Amino acid sequence: MSGKRVLLIGLASSAVDFDKWPELSVEILEDAFRKVQKDLESAGFEAAWCLVQADDTAAPELEAALRAEPPDVAMIGAGVRADEDQLLLFEQLVNVIHREAPDAAIAFNRNPLDSVDAVRRWA
C-alpha cells in the first residue's frame, strides 16, 4: 500500500454553494482538504488535490492533473456526488478518469473522516 498515488478530486471552496451546506464554511472546508491530505500521507499514500470549478474548466483541469501524475486511486469527494445540481459534473469527472487513467481505481468517501478507508478499499 505504501507510496500509492492518490488524486483527490473535489469542488474548490469558491465553487461550493454554502447556502446548501450551512454547516460548512470556506474555512471548515479548506481545513478538511488539508486534514484529508495529511491523513492519507500519514497512512503512507502520496496524496494531491485537484479542486475544480463547476464549469467548463473542470474536465481540462482534471485531465491535466491525471496526465501529470497518473494516480493509483482517484477519489471523488462527496461535495460533487452529494449535490444533485452537480450530477453532470460528476458524470463528466468519472468519464475523464475512465478515459485518462484507465488503470486507476475510483473511490468515493462519505465525508472527510472516512477518506483513508475509502482509498484503502481500492489501493
* Domain definitions of the chain by residue range: 5-122
Would you say 64 and 34 are in contact if contact means Cβ atoms under 8 Å apart?
no
Beta strand 73-76 pairing with 46-52: unpaired
* Separation of first and last alpha carbons in the chain: 6
In the numeric block, the cell 474555512 is attached to 27
pLDDT at 2 over 70: no
Average pLDDT, stretch 83-111? 95
Q: What is the pLDDT of residues 4-51, one digit of tens each?
A: 999 999 999 999 999 988 998 999 999 999 999 999 999 999 999 999
Q: Is 40 left (phi over 0), alpha (psi -120 to 50) or beta?
A: alpha
- In CATH, which of 3.40.50, 1.10.10, 3.90.550, 3.30.70 is domain 5-122? 3.40.50
Would you say 107 and 119 are in contact if contact means Cβ atoms under 8 Å apart?
yes
Q: What is the pTM assigned to this prediction?
A: 0.93
